[in-house]
Amino acid sequence: MKKLTTMFSVLALCAGMSAGVQAAPDTIKFSHVVAENTPKGQMALKFRDLVAERIGDKYVVEVYPNSQLFGDGKEMEALLLGDVQFIAPSLSKFSKYTKKLQVYDLPFLFKDMEAVDRFQQSSAGQALLSSVNSKGLIGLGYLHNGLKQLSANDPLRVPADADGKKFRIMSSDVLAAQFEAVEAVPLKKPFSEVFTLLQTRAIDGQENTWSNIYSKKFFEVQPYITESNHGVLDYMVTTSMEFWNDLPDGDRAVLKKALDEAVAHGNAIANDKAMKDRQNILDSGRSQIITLTDAERQQWVEVMKPVWDQFQEEIGPEVIEAAVASNQ
Ligand code: LMR
CA distance 201 to 309: 33
Backbone φ, ψ for residue 152 (5° rounding): -160, 170
Mean pLDDT computed over 291-303? 98
Could you tell me if the CB of 178 is within 6 A of ligand 1? no
Tell me what pLDDT residue 20 has. 54
H or E stretch covering 143: strand 137-152
Here the ipTM equals 0.98
Backbone φ, ψ for residue 168 (5° rounding): -75, 135
Tell me what pLDDT residue 167 has. 98
Tell me what pLDDT residue 5 has. 46
Does the pLDDT value for residue 256 go beyond 60? yes
The predicted-structure confidence for 174-209, as pLDDT tens digits, reads as follows 999 999 999 999 999 999 999 999 999 999 999 999
Could you tell me if the CB of 145 is within 6 A of ligand 1? yes
Tell me what pLDDT residue 21 has. 66
Model pTM above 0.90: yes
CA distance 73 to 96: 11
List the CATH code of the domain at 24-325: 3.40.190.170
Tell me what pLDDT residue 12 has. 45
Atom of ligand 1 nearest to the CA of 88: 8
Could you tell me if the CB of 34 is within 6 A of ligand 1? yes
Q: How many CB atoms lie within 10 A of CB 280?
A: 15
Could you tell me if the CB of 33 is within 6 A of ligand 1? yes
Show me where the domains of the chain are located. 24-325
**For the chain, first and last CA: distance in Å?**
77
Contact 99, 314 (CB under 8 A): yes
The predicted-structure confidence for 205-224, as pLDDT tens digits, reads as follows 999 999 999 999 999 999 99
Long-range contacts of 281-287 (CB under 8 A, 24+ apart): 281/210, 281/213, 281/214, 281/219, 281/225, 284/219, 284/220, 286/219, 286/220, 286/223, 287/151, 287/219, 287/220, 287/222, 287/223, 287/224, 287/225
Tell me what pLDDT residue 22 has. 74
The angle subtended at Cα 164 by Cα 159 and Cα 170, nearest 5°, is: 80
Does the pLDDT value for residue 19 go beyond 70? no
Q: How many CB atoms lie within 10 A of CB 138?
A: 19
Tell me what pLDDT residue 15 has. 46
Q: Please, where are the H alpha helices in the chain?
A: 2-18, 39-55, 75-81, 113-121, 123-128, 173-180, 194-199, 210-215, 241-246, 249-284, 294-304, 307-315, 317-325
Q: At what angle do helices 113-121 and 249-284 cross, to 10 degrees?
A: 170
DSSP code for 154: S
The alpha carbon of 192 and the centre of ligand 1 are apart by a number of angstroms equal to 9
> Minimum mean pLDDT among 2-6, 25-29, 79-83, 146-150: which range?
2-6
Does the pLDDT value for residue 6 go beyond 90? no
The alpha carbon of 246 and the centre of ligand 1 are apart by a number of angstroms equal to 30
DSSP code for 22: P
Handedness of CA 16, 17, 22, 24 (dihedral sign): positive
Tell me what pLDDT residue 17 has. 46
CA distance 91 to 291: 27
* Residue 18 pLDDT level (bands cut at 50, 70, 90): very low
Atom of ligand 1 nearest to the CA of 208: 3
* Residue 7 pLDDT level (bands cut at 50, 70, 90): very low
- Burial class (CB within 10 angstroms; exposed 0-12, middle 13-18, buried 19+) of 223: middle
Atom of ligand 1 nearest to the CA of 93: 5
Contact 64, 29 (CB under 8 A): yes
CA distance 232 to 92: 9
Average pLDDT in the chain: 94
Better-predicted residue by pLDDT, 17 or 197 = 197
The alpha carbon of 313 and the centre of ligand 1 are apart by a number of angstroms equal to 26
CA distance 87 to 281: 28
Could you tell me if the CB of 206 is within 6 A of ligand 1? no
CA distance 270 to 166: 29
Mean pLDDT computed over 67-93? 96
CA distance 289 to 228: 10
Does the pLDDT value for residue 14 go beyond 60? no
Tell me what pLDDT residue 186 has. 98
Mean pLDDT computed over 158-183? 98
Tell me what pLDDT residue 73 has. 83
